[in-house]
């Protein structure tokens, strides 16, 4: 069932830039075997300071690697061209560390553009960036792809042989980064798993936490904001019960395709629900374009339209909801109509994600309408499984992720940072307390979905600056450990 469609951001080699000539201590690297990278002294202050480099140009080269289609069976002997991107502008060879970006569920170049932290840090660590796109179809194959690719690069790239590799990823890519370190500690010295919900699997965390966090974000961003969204579902039911009401709703929301029936109204409500969830993920402190172009603290802007008195009519309430939704869908003013078949940019690669959710990434979620602002929804594995079967002809294996990746029983692993934002609903399934000295949780109370992986910005809250500084400190420690235990110098 695998296709050759996987793509990625990875590493390859170009000639050294003038920068690296100015780092002579690296040439003696392996004599000492203790020194690792020539870290620039200003590293921590720059990361913690107020400088920002949002306009750092991104440059990388694209390469292809003949990757095995199936690492685990012996019948399928074919290969596919795996795309990977390399940025070695700041790489100090030999032995400079390699940051390996563990892909994501979307277009790799798009994610790469939204992961400025890698570029900021690479400059500071003298690192080579290396990343690839996930295998849509199974995380185990993707991890094996990473391992094979890194071994290949280290043996074929002059100066990379002794380079410690650190896996970095956010969201699903963060889960892959953490699991990569767990399953292949021989390949990567550590991992930064940002906003990685490795516990959002059956039986590990309460299914309602996710929507509760979304609700909290709205509750604290404006007057009665969550209460009015909670009320809006019934208002939609009321209004959509007549043909003229459906027409009014369609016009009020400037929908591309008018609602025709109460079944359409159900789809319309899920689309709105997804819209509020997406806003919670991207509630960043500065204007950003992750899922959509948005203003700073977009939920506060949305909530301005929802600060309505409890006595307003269904129509007045829904007028406010429409204005609020348009903050998300029409912030740039260039959207002719709202398309209820879309909630995010096309780069997210949702179909691939749906497939994974329908196979091994089964993530229970539920709502009760009391502790959250959504309509009550039970988690129903059977119904979910039937949907998957209808869409892809597969049924999920709900317990597999827990079996293959250890569930909550991961204390025997080491060198993984789990960072989570307090505003991010995915933190519900994340590791939010320290497990051991080297399985560390970093909390960013004012952070949304992997804010720490984004470029530094003048409007970054102190908590994310501190998180990045701590992350770099752990990177340095892992690199130091790796060099210490390297068997010998060539
Ligand atoms: C990523 O950034 C590069 C350079 O700024 C740009 O050319 C490219 O179109 C961007 N890709 C996406 C998918 O946003
Ligand atoms: C929906 O209709 C019911 C019955 O007419 C009414 O009591 C209620 O106030 C309306 N609106 C909402 C938001 O429940
Ligand atoms: C989006 O904003 C522009 C500019 O304000 C407006 O002309 C257009 O009608 C809006 N689109 C929608 C779908 O509301
Ligand atoms: C709405 O989105 C769907 C799915 O992306 C797309 O196929 C369709 O063409 C879009 N409709 C309009 C009017 O843009
Ligand atoms: C985990 O330990 C680190 C290092 O002591 C500390 O900075 C961090 O705040 C701790 N995380 C949590 C969630 O307590």
State pLDDT tens for residues 175-222: 999 999 999 999 999 999 999 999 999 999 999 999 999 999 999 999
Q: Label residue 487 by pLDDT band (50, 70, 90).
A: low
Q: Does domain 25-203+403-485 have CATH number 3.40.50.1820?
A: yes
- CATH 1.20.120.980 maps onto the chain at 209-349+364-392
* For the CA of 255, the nearest ligand: 3
Give residue 112's pLDDT: 55
In whole angstroms, give the CA distance from residue 312 to residue 322.
Answer: 15
Given the residues 138, 171, 347, 427, select the one marked as catalytic: 171
- The residue ranges of DSSP E strands in 108-174, in sequence order, are 128-132, 165-170
pLDDT tens, position by position, 51-68: 233 445 567 777 888 888
pLDDT tens, position by position, 278-309: 999 999 999 988 778 899 999 999 999 999 99
* Ligand 5 mean position, distance from CA 429 (Å): 18
pLDDT tens, position by position, 455-484: 889 999 999 999 999 999 999 999 999 988
Of 97, 86, 197, 42, give the one whose Cα is nearest residue 475: 97
Annotated catalytic residue 171:
yes
Given a cut of 90, is residue 41 above it in pLDDT? no
Given a cut of 90, is residue 490 above it in pLDDT? no
* Ligand 5 mean position, distance from CA 337 (Å): 46
* Ligand 1 mean position, distance from CA 212 (Å): 34
In whole angstroms, give the CA distance from residue 98 to residue 116.
Answer: 16
Residue 347 CA: nearest ligand 1 atom is 13
Give residue 77's pLDDT: 81
Q: Kindly give, in sequence order, each residue whose CB lies less than 8 Å from that of residue 7, ignoring residues fewer than 6 positions away.
A: 82, 83, 107, 108, 132, 133
Which residue's CA is the nearest one to ligand 2's atom 14?
A: 234
Backbone angles phi, psi at 367, to 5 degrees: -140, 155
CB-hemisphere CA count at 13 Å for 186? Answer: 5
pLDDT tens, position by position, 58-110: 677 778 888 888 888 888 788 888 777 777 777 887 888 888 887 655 555 55
- CATH 3.40.50.1820 maps onto the chain at 25-203+403-485
Ligand 1 touching residue 110 (CB < 6 A): yes
CB atoms within 10 A of CB 271: 18
CA 223 from centroid of its chain's CA atoms = 30
Give residue 87's pLDDT: 76
Enter the DSSP assignment of 441: E
* Ligand 5 mean position, distance from CA 402 (Å): 25
Q: Does domain 209-349+364-392 have CATH number 1.20.120.980?
A: yes
Given the residues 120, 226, 424, 452, select the one marked as catalytic: 424
Which residue's CA is the nearest one to ligand 3's atom 1?
A: 333
Which residue's CA is the nearest one to ligand 1's atom 1?
A: 113
Which residue's CA is the nearest one to ligand 5's atom 6?
A: 442
């Amino acid at each position: 069932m695998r296709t050759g469609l996987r793509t990625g951001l990875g590493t390859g080699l170009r000639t050294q830039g003038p920068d690296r000539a100015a780092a002579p201590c690296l040439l003696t690297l392996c004599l000492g075997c203790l020194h690792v990278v020539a870290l620039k002294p200003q590293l921590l202050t720059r990361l913690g300071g107020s400088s920002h480099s949002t306009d750092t140009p991104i440059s990388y080269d694209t390469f292809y690697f003949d990757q095995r289609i199936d690492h685990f069976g012996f019948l399928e002997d074919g290969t596919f061209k795996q795309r990977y991107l390399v940025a070695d502008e700041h790489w100090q060879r030999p032995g400079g560390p390699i940051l390996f970006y563990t892909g994501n569920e979307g277009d790799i170049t798009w994610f790469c553009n939204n992961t400025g932290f890698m570029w900021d840090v690479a400059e500071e660590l003298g690192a080579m960036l290396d990343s690839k796109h996930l295998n849509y179809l199974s995380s185990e194959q993707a991890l094996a792809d990473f391992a094979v690719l890194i071994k290949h690069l280290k043996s074929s790239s002059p100066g990379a042989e002794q380079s410690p590799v650190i896996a970095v990823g956010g969201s699903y890519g963060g889960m892959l980064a953490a699991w990569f370190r767990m399953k292949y500690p021989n390949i990567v010295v550590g991992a930064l798993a940002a906003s990685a919900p490795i516990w959002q699997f059956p039986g590990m965390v309460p299914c309602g936490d996710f929507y509760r966090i979304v609700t909290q974000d709205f509750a604290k961003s404006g007057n009665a904001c969550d209460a009015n969204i909670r009320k809006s579902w019934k208002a939609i039911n009321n209004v959509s019960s007549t043909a003229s009401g459906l027409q009014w709703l369609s016009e009020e929301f400037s929908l591309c395709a008018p609602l025709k029936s109460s079944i359409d109204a159900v789809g319309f409500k899920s689309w709105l629900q997804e819209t509020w969830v997406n806003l919670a993920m991207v509630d960043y402190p500065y204007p950003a374009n992750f899922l959509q172009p948005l203003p700073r603290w977009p939920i506060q802007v949305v909530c301005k339209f929802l600060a309505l008195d409890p006595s307003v009519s269904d129509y007045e309430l829904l007028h406010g909801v429409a204005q609020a939704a348009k903050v998300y869908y029409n912030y740039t003013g260039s959207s002719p109509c709202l398309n209820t078949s879309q909630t995010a940019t096309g780069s997210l690669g949702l179909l691939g994600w749906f497939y994974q959710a329908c196979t091994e990434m089964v993530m229970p979620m539920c709502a009760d309408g009391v502790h959250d602002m959504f309509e009550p929804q039970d988690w129903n594995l059977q119904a979910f499984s039937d949907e998957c079967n209808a869409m892809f002809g597969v049924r999920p294996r709900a317990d597999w992720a827990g079996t293959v990746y250890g569930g909550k029983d991961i204390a025997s692993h080491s060198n993984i940072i789990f960072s989570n934002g307090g505003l991010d609903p995915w933190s519900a399934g994340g590791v939010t307390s320290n497990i051991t000295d080297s399985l560390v949780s970093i909390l960013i109370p004012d952070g949304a979905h992997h804010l720490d992986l984004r470029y530094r910005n003048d409007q970054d809250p102190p908590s994310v600056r501190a998180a990045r500084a701590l992350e770099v400190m752990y990177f340095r420690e892992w690199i130091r450990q790796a060099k210490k235990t390297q068997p010998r110098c060539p």
